[in-house]
Amino acid sequence: MSQIQWYPGHIAKTERELKPLLKWIDVVVEVLDARLPEASCNPRLRRAYSHMPVLVLLNKSDLADSNHTKAWKVHFEKTLAAQNPDSVIKSHLFDAKTAQHKAQVIKLLKLLAEPKMAQVVAKGLKRRPVRVLVVGMPNVGKSTVINCFIGQKKAKTGHKAGVTRQPQWVRIHPDIELLDTPGVIPPRLDSEEMGELLACVASVGEAAYDEEQVASFLIGRIEEIYPGHLHTHYHLDADTPLSIEAIALARRFILKGEQPDTIRTSRIILSDFRQGRWGRLSLETV
């Protein structure tokens, strides 16, 4: 996308910021948007934690197509394990708003950390809680995931000694502690399509993209994966080509002179999709 500026320096900076935190962590929780799991991860940054157990959370699964999300879950476990043989990777669907699947996720976190915990015990040290860091791109739901885990028990366990920028830990379960700040990973804007996909789910700031361009991309993508779906949703005739103008006319978003109000319609298109008003849809298929 021509309007979006991309500075590769952001990746290096994030890597520098993540590295010192990782030495305190047993499991990295990578939060992705289940509607676009490929575009919402950053393979270049995975390098920073490629040696560690990773739990990929396909968050906002309540908004995504469940068949595609299940296929992505299998895909991630297979391909990531092949790419990072030193790391153990599991993935799970998640809905941070309702905490659905929370119990299974807690179980997976403990399972992923078990080899490390066994080492601790083998050294004669006392078994300690598993330490987890949540990372992900803007707006994928990191804070909601953290809040969902913290629940009512927002009791901080206090500082650990020995770090310059002391991380704060929150006990989210008798056996699990979470670093209370998420690692924000810069959006992956390495192609026009990536930029447009991330703009569809508001992972890049509004100022960085053109709403009409992104809305047009979005309806095209939905038509490709779910032909006819938007015709039904907006009550368009089956033979009317899908366009912002056609939706504007159908919704009676008309300016003076009978011109379709494409700006207002583009905003509605983006918010209808983002709020899940078109139903559960995915923008990427395996």
Ligand X SMILES: Nc1nc2c(ncn2[C@@H]2O[C@H](COP(=O)(O)OP(=O)(O)OP(=O)(O)O)[C@@H](O)[C@H]2O)c(=O)[nH]1
Q: Compare residues 35 and 142 and give the one whose CB is closer to Mg ion.
A: 142
Q: How far is the CB of 225 from ligand X (least distance, A)?
A: 19
Nearer to ligand X, 148 or 215 (CB): 148
Tell me, what amino acid is at 220? G
Comparison of 143 and 240: residue with beta carbon closer to Mg ion: 143
Q: Please, what is the minimum distance in Å from the beta carbon of residue 108 to ligand X?
A: 17
- Please give the size of the binding site for ligand X, defined by CB under 6 A: 16
Please report whether residue 143 would count as binding Mg ion according to CB under 5 A.
yes
- Which of the stretches 24-32, 44-52, 135-143, 209-217 binds Mg ion when contact is defined by CB under 5 A? 135-143
Among 183, 204, 278, 184, which residue's Cα sits nearest to residue 39? 204
**Closer to ligand X by Cβ: residue 127 or 154:** 154
With CB cut-offs between 5 and 8 Å by kind, which of Mg ion, ligand X, none does residue 91 bind?
A: none
H-run or E-run covering 101 = none
The two most distant CA atoms of the chain are separated, in Å, by 80
Task: Select the residue whose beta carbon is closest to Mg ion and give its number.
Answer: 143
Residue number closest to ligand X, CB atom: 141
Paired residues of 133 in beta bridges: 28
Count other C-beta atoms under 10 Å from residue 104's C-beta.
12
Q: Does 181 bind Mg ion (CB under 5 A)?
A: no
Does residue 286 belong to the site contacting ligand X (CB under 6 A)? no
Helix (H) or strand (E) holding 100: none
Residues 149-208 close enough to bind ligand X by CB under 6 A: 184
102 is a contact residue toward ligand X (CB under 6 A): no
Residues 56, 30 contacting (CB under 8 angstroms): yes
Tokens of residue 150, six digits: 């913290």
If one asks whether residue 144 binds Mg ion (CB under 5 A), the answer comes out as no
Q: Which of 27, 63, 246, 283 binds ligand X (CB under 6 A)?
A: 63
* Cβ proximity to ligand X, 172 vs 248, nearer residue: 172
H-type alpha helices, the chain: 9-22, 43-46, 66-83, 102-122, 142-150, 192-200, 211-225, 229-233, 244-251, 262-274
- Determine which residue in the list 10, 70, 75, 97 makes contact with ligand X, applying CB under 6 A: 97
DSSP 8-state class, residue 166 = P
Following CA atoms 271, 186, 176, 87 in sequence, which dihedral angle do they give, to the nearest 10 degrees? 120
Which tokens hold the place of 33?
């948007």
Q: Residues 35, 68, 92, 142: which binds ligand X (CB under 6 A)?
A: 142
Q: Which is nearer to ligand X, 34 or 246 (CB)?
A: 34
| Residue closer to Mg ion, measured from CB, 205 or 279 | 205
Q: Which of 100, 129, 125, 94 is nearest to 113 (CA)?
A: 129
d(CA 223, CA 253): 21
Contacts of 107 by beta carbon, 8 Å cutoff, 6+ apart: none
**Residue 272 in the binding site for ligand X (CB under 6 A):** no
The token duo for 144 is: 């909601």
The site for ligand X (CB under 6 A) is made up of: 59-60, 62-63, 95-97, 136, 138-144, 184
The site for Mg ion (CB under 5 A) is made up of: 142-143
